[in-house]
Amino acid sequence: MEYKRITSKGGVNIPVKLRRSMGIEPRDAIELDVNDRNELVIRAYQARCIYCGSEEIHLKKNGKGVCRACADQLVDEYVKQKRKELA
């Protein structure tokens, strides 16, 4: 167990040993959460579908991801709309 003090700006330095074991490096995005035991949880950032929150990203554009199910739904809606326009 490592002991750290929170900086005056609210920051905490994550020791290199922990960063390496988590596969994160300086300037990487991370996710912070508090679990039901009031513990701070730090995770490597995981891109999620912007529509449903799934971690299974199928398409990425401008740093945002969409899962296959939502991508299929979008395509279906787009095709329906286009067919109406062309009818």
Tokens of 55: 């971690």
End-to-end distance of the chain based on CA atoms, in angstroms?
Answer: 67
Q: Is 79 in the site for Zn ion (CB under 5 A)?
A: no
Q: What is the helix (H) or strand (E) element at residue 59, kind and residue range?
A: strand 59-61
- In the bound complex, what is the minimum distance in angstroms from residue 34's beta carbon to Zn ion? 26
Q: Is 70 in the site for Zn ion (CB under 5 A)?
A: yes
CA pair distance 29, 51, nearest whole angstrom: 20
- In the bound complex, what is the minimum distance in angstroms from residue 72's beta carbon to Zn ion? 10
**Residue positions counted in the chain:** 87
Q: State the residue for tokens 């279906």.
A: 76
Using the contact rule CB under 5 A, the part of the chain among 8-16, 31-39, 40-48, 52-60 near Zn ion is 52-60
Single residue of 14, 19, 24, 54 touching Zn ion by CB under 5 A: 54
Single residue of 24, 51, 57, 73 touching Zn ion by CB under 5 A: 51
Using the contact rule CB under 5 A, the part of the chain among 10-18, 21-29, 59-67, 73-81 near Zn ion is 59-67
Task: Tell me how crowded residue 58 is: count the other CB atoms within 10 A of its CB.
Answer: 14
